[in-house]
Amino acid sequence: MKPEMESSTDSYARKSVIIQIAVTVLANTGMFLSGMVLGFPSAILGPLVESDTPGYHASVEEGSWISSVAAIASPVGCLLGGPLVDKLGRRTGLQVLNLPNIVGWVLLSLVPFPFQSVYPLIAGRILTGFAAGLATAAAATYTAEVITPNLRTLLVTVSPVMMGIGIFTIYLLADLLQDQWTVAATIGTIVSVISIIFSPFLPESPLWLLSRKDSESALKSLMILRGTVSPHHVETEFKQMVDSLSSRSTKTTWTNTFQDMCKPEAYKPLIIMNMFFLIQQLSGVTVVIVYGVKFAKDAELSEDAYTVALFIGIVRVISTFITTWLCNRWGRRKPAVAMGVGVTLSLLVLSGYLALRHSYPQAIPSTPWVSIICILVNILTSSIVFSTMLWSMLGEVFPTNVRGVCSGLTSCIGYIISFMTIKFYPIVEPMVGNIAAFVFFGISALVGTIFLAIYLPETYGKTLSEIEEYFRGSKKTKTSSIQELHHNS
């Protein structure tokens, strides 16, 4: 009897893992599309603006708006996405974001045929950027709430993985079909349609259902997510969810939301994560993604610009898997600080090499491999700390009752800063020079690394309730954190 029970338990555990992986991947199809949105300028700017071949072309100014306008719409999506998933549900939010994606990608595929105008492109970028903002809040929130603590470190990285795959897809199409951005737009449309067809099959977040006093549906949803038909298998976890929500107000109003955001368990991670996003943008992470080809040219790799951009996409995808291994081995704090040092050194070494070569061109010959190594090291380390780790933490550090709002607000601020860097980099870089731009990115990364070393909390292996208690200032949680640090060291 006992071996049969153990076999049944193992089968239940395997089924639970498979279900959690499946729903996480499906819930993050919007993040794949967000990656395509970020990388799309690399596919369209070459043939649309820089090419001298016959056909429809846009001006440099129009091209800069096509590149940056998605980042204007994304904050709106973030602000609406948070309240949307809190009010209507996490699953509904994931369904809604597909609608602007479908319309937006269709518009992007209509130029240059049948329309030869920049307006469908700008409209399409606005809609896909808006959808990217919605996806940021919805995907991170849903993923953090439906997976078990022992799988969270692995599965919260699915969001940046999917985003990285989306960016790589765009770079690959840009390299293979340098004058056919409509193919990329068609792929975006197809993925959006697939997502809207299958997203209704996602189980709703049990935590969200409990916050709406729907205990029966919450229990059923949790049983589906854990792959069991017996409430006994999820009894302990369900009780923990109920206990964590028992002291909270069940009525959601803007007044209650603001009051909850003024509590330390909300405003502390809000400040930390917004600083995290500020560091990300000032370190040039988004600039490299959006202007992958141009960034390679600025590093004096004009002949291999498209190939370097493709490798940037590959390294970004690889970095997400490395992040999972690093976090499972050393948690989040130590890898974050170590990778921050890597970002800083790669940028400063690249700046120093370019400065010396410009000052002493005869003594220091042109060696492209130095720039290539610096760029790839920068992409690897920045993708780990300022992309994968950042996005994976977004859905787990905020309290359940304001998680959607705080995730949306943080993403909104991040996208606003992103718009500024995307819009002004092509304007400022020729004025100050590529070396000064790289030095600025390096100094920003250094300051950011120091900030992370001081303030970034360790969330690895902790339940959402334990993370909340940490920011609230629970003595018990602080004591356990200190003991864990001693154990790891």
CB 128 within 8 A of CB 101: yes
CB 147 within 8 A of CB 18: no
pLDDT of residue 209: 94
- Between CA 374 and CA 353 the distance in angstroms is 10
Q: What is the 3-state secondary structure (H, E, C) of the chain?
A: CHHHHHHHHHHHHHHHHHHHHHHHHHHCHHHHHHHHHHHHHHHHHHHHHHCCCCCCCCCHHHHHHHHHHHHHHHHHHHHHHHHHHHHCCHHHHHHHCHHHHHHHHHHHCCCCCCCCCCHHHHHHHHHHHHHHHHHHHHHHHHHHHHCCHHHHHHHCCHHHHHHHHHHHHHHHHHHHCCCCHHHHHHHHHHHHHHHHHHHHHCCCCHHHHHHCCCHHHHHHHHHHHCCCCCHHHHHHHHHHHHHHHHCCCCCCCHHHHHHHHCCHHHHHHHHHHHHHHHHHHHCCHHHHHHCHHHHHHHCCCHHHHHHHHHHHHHHHHHHHHHHHHHHHHHCCHHHHHHHHHHHHHHHHHHHHHHHHHHHCCCCCCCCHHHHHHHHHHHHHHHHHHHHHHHHHHHCCCCCHHHHHHHHHHHHHHHHHHHHHHHHHHHHHHHHHCHHHHHHHHHHHHHHHHHHHHHHCCCCCCCCHHHHHHHHHCCHHHHHHHHHHHHHHC
CB 397 within 8 A of CB 269: yes
- Between CA 415 and CA 475 the distance in angstroms is 36
Among candidate residues 291, 285, 295, 38, the one with its CA nearest the CA of residue 170:
38
pLDDT of residue 243: 85
pLDDT of residue 303: 66
13-202 and 263-472: identical CATH topology = yes
- Between CA 182 and CA 199 the distance in angstroms is 26
CB 241 within 8 A of CB 25: no
Domain boundaries, the chain: 13-202, 263-472
Per-residue pLDDT 10s for the chain (489 aa) are 444 444 555 666 788 899 999 999 999 999 999 999 988 987 887 778 766 676 677 887 788 888 889 988 988 888 888 788 888 899 999 999 899 999 999 999 988 777 788 899 999 999 999 999 889 878 888 988 899 888 877 787 788 789 889 988 988 888 887 667 888 899 999 999 999 999 999 999 999 999 888 999 999 999 999 998 889 889 999 998 888 777 555 556 778 888 889 999 999 999 999 998 898 889 988 888 777 777 777 776 766 777 887 888 888 888 878 887 888 888 888 999 999 999 999 999 999 998 998 888 877 777 788 888 898 899 899 988 887 788 778 778 888 778 878 887 887 788 788 888 888 887 788 889 889 999 999 999 999 999 999 998 888 878 888 888 899 886 554 444 444 444 444
pLDDT of residue 10: 60
Indicate the pTM of the whole model: 0.75
Structure tokens at 407: 């995730």
Say which residue the tokens 């129009």 belong to: 62
pLDDT of residue 335: 92
- Between CA 148 and CA 125 the distance in angstroms is 36
CB 289 within 8 A of CB 39: yes
- Angle among Cα 266, 417, 95 to the nearest 5 degrees reads 65
The CATH code for residues 13-202 is 1.20.1250.20
Architecture of domain 263-472: Up-down Bundle (1.20)
Q: Estimate the crossing angle of helix 434-455 against helix 264-282, to 10 degrees.
A: 160
Q: What is the CA radius of gyration of the chain?
A: 23
- The amino acid at 229: V
End-to-end alpha-carbon separation of the chain, Å? 43
pLDDT of residue 273: 92
pLDDT of residue 240: 87
